Structure 1
């Protein structure tokens, strides 16, 4: 039978379901936890003790010098995000570690090759940045605390020596580069000086240069140059005056006064400041509520008027003065132009030669200045080479560790416990996911579409050997009642008890049900139709030599094979001699007649059968009787197998009345605790038996003469 809702997903587990899985699988969880925990303990025990020695250093980037065409620029790695990661790799690089090994001859101490020593040394060194700082921690963990300190100090010394060597190398490289550029500039200066002297001779200029690089020029070229310079300065002054006069003409009133007062050498700045201060005072007096006729207001107004007239008068004078100066300068410009123009064509040619001389002189001076700068920089670099590098500062030197830092017993055991618990819970839920067996009443009803008639707890024994007062008997009373009310036809009183596989408690369930029905006043017949491995006779210590097979194969009467048990109303038909063809004997007319006969004689007929998935006997019996009851052991067979059990019964025309969920561990499954918690509470406390209709009967006297009670047998003891 397939799931009635194949497209519907599994119902999500709630918190109580998770707890139920943990309770059901606590053995797996505990075993996994112990294995992982003990493994962590053993590993911790066998791990060698290690001591830690660490140093704390501050590292700064090395500056790299590059000389451009005019000035030296300093560039290089800054304190970027990758800087510390780079230093971590440099510290554990082969070059630095090899230097450390050489410092303390570590390969000789360990009696290993250079490569092996490098590998082991790298494995015991750890570098990290101290949180929130620019400091680097270099730590070494080793089994010998004295050697750990020596190794840590060697690594730090090697790292410091390496950085100093790189910085010194960089400085030397910079000096060499500057020397090359300086020599090139000296050659260039010499070349330009020779060119300048040649031009001076051709022009007729005497060029004299002192020791400091200063120069003195004598000759006509110098006078022409001076005239041209003066002409340029006068023209520039003319342009400035023209601009000022243009501004004066475009401004009016207050703007004009302010502009003129800002001009240098006008003497109006103080008067203008007094004028503006008086205006602000007047505004303040008016704002305070004084009227226009108030003496102070009128005095300030007169003062402002006089100051304004004074400023306007001065402004007019400044304008006239600037205009006069402009006229004079224009005259000077015209005169100087006429002087320059009067030199004629020869003078123009000579001026060009002088201009050529001036250009050569400027180029020579520029080259000379750059050469002097380079000489100064070379001297500075050579002086800095004598200063010790300052790219690394050691704040903490390595010291011997007082106690071992590894293994951390508490941490390892704690992690072992946590990991073991997580693995255990994970394995438990994984096994629960893989487990497709029946776990609840809902599983039975969902997949088999039949009711659960009873839930039988784990370790329920044979009731008639326990005196009949066991609280476990209540489960079978519930089973008896549910069978009574689930029969659609009151005449359907023959029931075969089947199971999917061996060991599901089918025989014990049938014996206990027969006993409870007999106690309830039903005349009950048990037929052991398991002709493969019969077992019912062992519950009553009855001989199994004559029984069902003898009746089916001979002319024996029914009375010859039905035996009275020590229990009132309970009768038993043994299996008899085991035949070669069990299915053939059961699938016969005489078997059908037997079932019809005993149905007339007894109130209830219970037929035991072999596992239905193992042999065909159970299917034959299911077709002969009225009803079939399936016994399912809790958490044993997969759901698909149980669906095949039901399908096997229905394929031969049998009718499944319901399922008995057997061997349920009610202590671990809380949902069944509620279901079975009333067994003890409502169990009979006297010698009376509760009937389905509410009446009571006395316990049979024969029960007193039954064999002494034996130890309860687990339902799993049934072979079939």
Structure 2
């Protein structure tokens, strides 16, 4: 089973165990990220923000009918506001804002400008500064003149040039400032309204309020300028036409006067007079239509130039817009214009029902023509180049183009009528004809002059009434508090992110960790679990703490010591917890493992059959020797005559654990130098004998697999109830596999948190390949504090078995007593050391090990 499957089966207690195990990672992550967040929060530059709101009014609601309402007429609220947002972000508006900021008397207080002027001056060489100063003396005079002109026409909106900065440097600085402005402003429409909200962020309250005011002022000024631009072009055209017509009128009047005086002509016949009046009327209508057509063309030129700045190819697309339907609609509209002009020429009043009906039909066809043309233009554009921002401008151009075509058709129709009447006058005498021409010219010029004067006054009124369609709803104000950094939010987020990051790293490490940690891990892999040996933290031991204990009971003499001599007390390693402290919870865990093993080995048919078992592990350093020693002691304490054999002929350990030398042992028996009875050592523990490794051979595997070894094992079974063999790791060498094939079963020791799933599987496979009976596993070095609920019986056992009433009453004493033991990598408390025992440890102190008067209190 892979890690993914294991992770999916994690329960709440598993998560608590993982978090407890990674507590230092979580704490470190929490403190580190929170500290960095706090440092950043209190050292970061403060950001202030102000907002202003602008209402985009609909000109149609204000009954303003002006030619070419640029940026005023839209197809809907969303489109109109989107267009205005794009205009606000455009380089034109922001460029004018940049100019105002750079020339403001408050520019030294604006951090957005930085110290660019100062840097440029310092980097300029003496020669370049001298040349620049000479150039700017000339510019100063020009700027002074331009400033006066701008003050009278543009309300003091002038741009002065620095006396020490070249135009190229100014352009570069302006471009950088425009980029900064784009990054510091935000624009969004308010829902269900025609209001734009402009947000400005900056380094100080004054700066953001000042920039916001400049933006709104420049935006409003630009809006008024564009709305007046088309009217101004028409006004100039009418002014020029008015002056020309006035001159023509004077000339016509003077010629008529001279003719009358010379030829003594006073008046014409009534019939001729009527004809002249009609001709004059039609000429005025023609000139009026022609003048309207030229005015419309002027507006078109202005709008097309504006459109050409934003959409370079759109003007050409519109000019070539043609389809069968467009051609048909255009011809139908022009035909109606000619019919209307003909009816008017025939004497029918403009308000006649027939003419009104024709005009309605013409207007309807005109709307269809505009809509069809717009659809054609959209179809010709690529998806990456929609109308969007230019949508309103395109609509105006289409309307004016249709209007211009209609006016031209009307002018052509009236011209045809004028030509017809002119031909009628050709039959008159030359003198009368000349008089008629002069009189008619004077009348036409007079009527046109009056008409143009009327139009001129109308256009002036429209120009003066044009104040734009913007209204500032909320003026920008200086904010009192910064919007960034948000100290409370940053610290809260830092704490959350720190915890989340620590927990995430812990879970990731757990996911990547393939080691066996719990009994459930072994069970999921299909192993029988005989028991779990806990690790219980001790207090930190002082440097040089002992790892051996001096026994008060004398052990058998070592080799070479004569019987009857005074034998010094043996020092055995403190990893023998089942002997030194049999009432500890760790000792009980060994007894549980022993009981489970006896149950597996029980044979109803042969209840007293001797059993030989191999105790091995996957890799070195998994507590195998410690486990087999304590299991041997628990079996001996149960009344079973037990032999513990050190068959690790490469790195033997058991002789050190029990305080013996390894000179004579198993290899001595296998080599025929000594018998089993002579080689076995009495450990001083009832029912427990020890057979050490002996001298280390060059071929351990061959020696353990020899027929002699089989004979020795059979001899051992005759004398002992249970024989436990301590063997090398299974994966490292073949010694354990060779020996396990000769015994009744094998027990695999697994080191919790160290032994990987792959190692356990490989060890199991190696043993299965040679047909070894794997009885089960013992999980070693389990941190019971990290496994909530799984190993609570250890606490329950210790609490019940100790029976110390004072221990129960003292707050926290139970936990403190339990935590005084540490199970090291090779045994208890380091390499075989079981910490210090003293008088405070219940059931131990004066009975075992140290001299109670001298060492007990010292190591408690």
**Residue 434 of structure 1: which of 482, 504, 512 is its match?**
512
Q: 1:590 aligns with which of 708, 715, 734?
A: 708
Q: Does residue 209 of structure 2 align to residue 149 of structure 1?
A: yes
Equivalent pairs counted in the alignment come to 545
Contact in 2 for aligned 1:36/1:416 (Cα 8 Å): yes
Q: Which residue of 1 aligns with 2:781?
A: 663
Q: Distance in 2 between matches of 1:403 and 1:468?
A: 70
Per-residue CA distance 1:461-507 (angstroms, 9 max, x = gap): 53146421112222111111110111264536111111112232222
Aligned residue in 2 for 1:555: 673
Q: Paired residue for 1:111?
A: 115
Q: What is the DSSP-based 3-state SS (H/G/I as helix, E as strand, rest coil) of the residue aligned with 1:54?
A: strand
1:234: which partner in 2?
A: none
Partner of 1:693: none
C-alpha RMSD of matched pairs (Å)? 4.9
Aligned CA distance change for structure 1 residues 211 and 24 (closer, same or farther; 3 Å): farther
After superposition, what is the alpha-carbon deviation per residue over 1:443-470, rounded to whole angstroms, capped at 9, x for unaligned?
A: 32332x3311112222385314642111
User: Is 2:461 the counterpart of 1:383?
Assistant: yes
Whether the aligned pair in 2 keeps the contact of 1:552 and 1:585 (CA below 8 Å) is: yes
Correspondence list, 1:629-708, <5 A: 629-674=747-792, 676-680=794-798, 683=801
Q: Deviations over 1:305-348 (max 9, x none)?
A: xxxxxxxxxxxxxxxxxxxxxxxxxxxxxxxxxxxxxxxxxxxx
Aligned partners of 1:608, 1:371: CA distance in 2, in Å?
A: 127
Q: Does the Cα contact within 8 Å between 1:53 and 1:398 map onto a contact in 2? A: yes
- The aligned residue for residue 52 of structure 1 is 49
Tell me, what secondary structure is at the counterpart of 2:595? helix
Hey, what's the Cα distance between the residues in 2 that align with 1:636 and 1:103? 71
Q: 2:524 matched to which residue of 1?
A: 446
Q: What's the counterpart of residue 534 of structure 2?
A: 457
Give the 3-state SS of the residue equivalent to 1:165 in structure 2. Answer: helix
The DSSP-based 3-state class of the residue aligned with 2:527 is coil
Contact 1:451 1:659 in 2 (8 A): yes
More displaced stretch, 122-131 vs 555-564:
122-131
What does 1:141-220 align with in structure 2 at a 5 Å threshold?
141-173=201-233, 206-207=274-275, 209=277
* Distance in 2 (alpha carbons) for counterparts of 1:95 and 1:214: 47
The answer to whether structure 1 residue 472 and structure 2 residue 472 are counterparts is no
Cα separation, partners in 2 of 1:585 and 1:459, compared to 1, 3 Å: farther
> How far, CA to CA, are the matches of 1:483 and 1:651 in structure 2?
23
Q: Give the corresponding residue for 2:823.
A: 714
- 2:533 alignment partner, SS class: strand
2: CA distance between counterparts of 1:201 and 1:480?
148
- Aligned position for 1:348: none
Say if 1:84 and 1:635 are closer, same or farther in 2 by CA, change over 3 A: farther
TM-aligned CA distance change 1:174 to 1:646, over 3 Å = farther
Map 1:60-75 to 2 at 5 A: 60=57
Tell me how far 1:661 sits from its aligned partner.
1.6
CA shift for structure 1 position 62: 7.7
Residue of structure 1 in register with 2:316 after alignment: none
Q: Distance in 2 between matches of 1:593 and 1:203?
A: 159
Instruction: Measure, in 1, the Cα distance between the counterparts of 2:653 and 2:5.
Output: 43
Local SS of the residue matching 1:572: strand
Q: Which residue of 1 aligns with 2:195?
A: 135
Distance 1:8 1:415, change over 3 A: closer
Q: Displacement, 1:628? A: 0.6
CA 1:6–1:48: 2 relative to 1, 3 Å: closer
* CA distance in structure 1 between the aligned counterparts of 2:678 and 2:532, rounded to whole angstroms: 36
Q: 1:65, 1:75 within 8 Å by CA — same for their partners in 2?
A: no
> Are 2:518 and 1:412 equivalent residues in the alignment?
no
| Alpha-carbon shift at residue 573 of structure 1 (Å) | 1.5
How far is the alpha carbon of 1:627 from its aligned partner? 0.9
Pairwise CA distance, 1:46: 3.2
Query: Structure 2 length normalisation: TM-score?
Result: 0.55
CA contact (8 A) 1:51 1:405 kept: yes
Which secondary structure state, in structure 1, belongs to the residue aligned with residue 784 of structure 2? Answer: coil
Select the residue among 29, 32, 40 that pairs with 1:43.
40
Q: Which runs of 5+ in 1 are unaligned?
A: 187-199, 216-227, 230-352, 361-367, 687-709
Partner of 2:598: 484
1:342-361 to structure 2, matched below 5 A, reads none
Correspondence 1:69-88 to 2 at 5 A: 76-88=73-85
3-state DSSP class of the match of 1:420? Answer: helix
Q: Summarize the Cα distance change of 1:618–1:163 in structure 2 as closer, same or farther, 3 Å threshold.
A: farther
Verify the 8 A CA contact 1:505 1:717 in the aligned structure 2: yes
3-state SS of the aligned residue for 2:585? coil
Aligned position for 2:331? none
Deviation at 1:65, TM superposition (A): 7.9
- Distance in 2, matches of 1:425 and 1:38, equals 17
Distance change (3 Å), C-alpha of 1:416 and 1:91: farther
CA distance in 2, matches of 1:509, 1:591: 24
1:251 maps to which residue? Answer: none
Distance (whole Å) between structure 2 residues aligned to residue 144 and residue 407 of structure 1: 13
Give me the whole-angstrom Cα distance separating, in 1, the residues matched to 2:481 and 2:66: 51
The residue that corresponds to 2:119 in the other structure is none
| TM-superposed deviation, 1:632 | 1.2
Structure 1 length normalisation: TM-score?
A: 0.64
- 1:58-113 Cα offsets, whole Å, 9 max, x none, are 33468898869xxx999733553354444444434333232222112178852333
Q: Does 1:401 align with 2:479?
A: yes
* Equivalent residue, structure 2, for 1:542: 660
- Given that 2:227 and 2:466 are in contact with CA atoms closer than 8 Å, whether structure 1 keeps it comes out as no
